[in-house]
Protein backbone atom coordinates (compact mmCIF):
# COMPACT_ATOMS: atom_id res chain seq x y z
CA UNK A 1 0.00 0.00 0.00
CA UNK A 2 2.78 2.43 0.87
CA UNK A 3 4.63 2.00 -2.47
CA UNK A 4 1.35 2.73 -4.25
CA UNK A 5 0.91 5.96 -2.29
CA UNK A 6 4.51 6.96 -2.98
CA UNK A 7 4.03 6.25 -6.69
CA UNK A 8 0.84 8.34 -6.74
CA UNK A 9 2.62 11.18 -4.93
CA UNK A 10 5.48 11.14 -7.44
CA UNK A 11 3.05 11.07 -10.38
CA UNK A 12 1.03 13.89 -8.81
CA UNK A 13 4.09 16.04 -8.21
CA UNK A 14 5.28 15.40 -11.77
CA UNK A 15 1.91 16.49 -13.17
CA UNK A 16 1.85 19.54 -10.91
CA UNK A 17 5.40 20.44 -11.91
CA UNK A 18 4.52 20.08 -15.59
CA UNK A 19 1.43 22.23 -15.08
CA UNK A 20 3.35 25.02 -13.34
CA UNK A 21 6.19 24.87 -15.87
CA UNK A 22 3.75 24.73 -18.78
CA UNK A 23 1.70 27.73 -17.64
CA UNK A 24 4.84 29.73 -16.90
CA UNK A 25 6.40 28.92 -20.26
CA UNK A 26 3.10 29.58 -22.02
CA UNK A 27 2.93 33.07 -20.56
CA UNK A 28 6.58 33.83 -21.31
CA UNK A 29 6.31 32.31 -24.80
CA UNK A 30 3.28 34.49 -25.50
CA UNK A 31 5.38 37.55 -24.75
CA UNK A 32 8.25 36.30 -26.91
CA UNK A 33 6.02 35.42 -29.87
CA UNK A 34 4.35 38.81 -29.71
CA UNK A 35 7.68 40.55 -29.34
CA UNK A 36 9.17 38.67 -32.26
CA UNK A 37 6.36 38.52 -34.82
CA UNK A 38 4.54 41.76 -34.16
CA UNK A 39 7.78 43.73 -34.11
CA UNK A 40 8.77 42.45 -37.56
CA UNK A 41 5.77 44.27 -38.99
CA UNK A 42 5.70 47.30 -36.73
CA UNK A 43 9.37 48.18 -37.13
CA UNK A 44 9.19 48.23 -40.91
CA UNK A 45 5.99 50.27 -41.09
CA UNK A 46 6.93 52.69 -38.32
CA UNK A 47 10.52 53.01 -39.55
CA UNK A 48 9.32 53.93 -43.04
CA UNK A 49 7.07 56.57 -41.43
CA UNK A 50 4.00 55.13 -43.13
CA UNK A 51 1.87 55.14 -39.97
CA UNK A 52 2.17 56.54 -36.48
CA UNK A 53 3.31 54.29 -33.65
CA UNK A 54 -0.18 54.13 -32.12
CA UNK A 55 -1.80 53.07 -35.41
CA UNK A 56 0.94 50.52 -36.12
CA UNK A 57 0.50 48.90 -32.70
CA UNK A 58 -3.29 48.85 -33.14
CA UNK A 59 -3.00 47.21 -36.58
CA UNK A 60 -0.50 44.67 -35.22
CA UNK A 61 -2.84 43.88 -32.32
CA UNK A 62 -5.76 43.32 -34.67
CA UNK A 63 -3.54 41.14 -36.87
CA UNK A 64 -2.43 39.00 -33.93
CA UNK A 65 -6.03 38.48 -32.80
CA UNK A 66 -7.22 37.64 -36.33
CA UNK A 67 -4.30 35.29 -36.88
CA UNK A 68 -4.95 33.47 -33.62
CA UNK A 69 -8.65 33.24 -34.46
CA UNK A 70 -8.37 31.92 -38.01
CA UNK A 71 -5.17 29.84 -37.85
CA UNK A 72 -6.97 26.54 -37.37
CA UNK A 73 -5.12 24.83 -40.24
CA UNK A 74 -1.75 25.62 -38.72
CA UNK A 75 -2.96 24.55 -35.29
CA UNK A 76 -4.31 21.26 -36.67
CA UNK A 77 -0.95 20.52 -38.30
CA UNK A 78 0.86 21.25 -35.06
CA UNK A 79 -1.67 19.27 -33.04
CA UNK A 80 -2.08 16.13 -35.16
CA UNK A 81 0.09 16.47 -38.27
CA UNK A 82 3.46 15.92 -36.63
CA UNK A 83 2.60 13.14 -34.20
CA UNK A 84 -0.57 11.66 -32.79
CA UNK A 85 -0.96 12.69 -29.14
CA UNK A 86 -3.42 9.83 -28.53
CA UNK A 87 -0.49 7.42 -28.87
CA UNK A 88 1.19 8.96 -25.80
CA UNK A 89 0.44 8.55 -22.14
CA UNK A 90 -0.60 11.65 -20.24
CA UNK A 91 2.87 11.97 -18.70
CA UNK A 92 4.56 11.64 -22.10
CA UNK A 93 2.27 14.23 -23.69
CA UNK A 94 2.86 16.66 -20.82
CA UNK A 95 6.61 16.11 -21.07
CA UNK A 96 6.53 16.75 -24.83
CA UNK A 97 4.51 19.95 -24.58
CA UNK A 98 6.39 21.27 -21.54
CA UNK A 99 9.74 20.68 -23.26
CA UNK A 100 8.46 22.31 -26.44
CA UNK A 101 7.41 25.43 -24.54
CA UNK A 102 10.71 25.53 -22.67
CA UNK A 103 12.82 25.18 -25.81
CA UNK A 104 10.59 27.59 -27.76
CA UNK A 105 10.91 30.26 -25.09
CA UNK A 106 14.68 29.92 -24.94
CA UNK A 107 15.11 29.92 -28.73
CA UNK A 108 12.81 32.86 -29.39
CA UNK A 109 14.32 34.92 -26.61
CA UNK A 110 17.87 34.12 -27.70
CA UNK A 111 17.28 34.84 -31.38
CA UNK A 112 15.35 38.03 -30.62
CA UNK A 113 17.97 39.24 -28.12
CA UNK A 114 20.66 39.02 -30.80
CA UNK A 115 18.43 40.50 -33.52
CA UNK A 116 18.39 37.31 -35.57
CA UNK A 117 15.34 36.54 -37.71
CA UNK A 118 13.32 33.56 -36.53
CA UNK A 119 10.05 31.95 -37.53
CA UNK A 120 7.96 31.00 -34.52
CA UNK A 121 5.97 28.50 -36.57
CA UNK A 122 9.10 26.76 -37.84
CA UNK A 123 10.47 26.65 -34.30
CA UNK A 124 7.29 25.07 -32.96
CA UNK A 125 7.04 22.50 -35.74
CA UNK A 126 10.63 21.33 -35.38
CA UNK A 127 10.44 21.36 -31.57
CA UNK A 128 7.36 19.12 -31.71
CA UNK A 129 9.09 16.88 -34.24
CA UNK A 130 12.22 16.58 -32.11
CA UNK A 131 10.24 15.94 -28.94
CA UNK A 132 8.16 13.26 -30.65
CA UNK A 133 11.33 11.47 -31.80
CA UNK A 134 12.87 11.75 -28.35
CA UNK A 135 9.82 10.30 -26.60
CA UNK A 136 9.90 7.12 -28.68
Query: Would you give per-residue pLDDT tens digits along the chain (136 residues)?
Result: 455 445 555 567 777 887 887 788 777 767 766 666 667 677 778 888 888 889 988 888 787 777 777 766 666 666 667 777 778 888 887 788 778 878 888 888 888 788 787 777 788 888 888 887 887 6
pLDDT of residue 78: 64
Number of H helices, E strands in the chain: 6, 0
pLDDT of residue 74: 64
The answer to whether position 1 is within a domain reads no
The answer to whether position 13 is within a domain reads no
Note down the domain range covering 41. 20-135
pLDDT of residue 129: 81
The answer to whether position 2 is within a domain reads no
The answer to whether position 6 is within a domain reads no
Q: Helix 2-33 to helix 90-113 angle, to the nearest 10 degrees? A: 30
pLDDT of residue 72: 67
The answer to whether position 8 is within a domain reads no
pLDDT of residue 80: 67
pLDDT of residue 5: 46
pLDDT of residue 50: 87
Q: How many structural domains is the chain composed of?
A: 1
pLDDT of residue 8: 52
Instruction: Tell me the C-alpha distance between 85 and 9, whole Å.
Output: 25
Amino acid sequence: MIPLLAEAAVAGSFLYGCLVLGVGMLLWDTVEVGRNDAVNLTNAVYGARILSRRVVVAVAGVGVVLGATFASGVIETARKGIFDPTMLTLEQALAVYASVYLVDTILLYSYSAYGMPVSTTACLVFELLGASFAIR
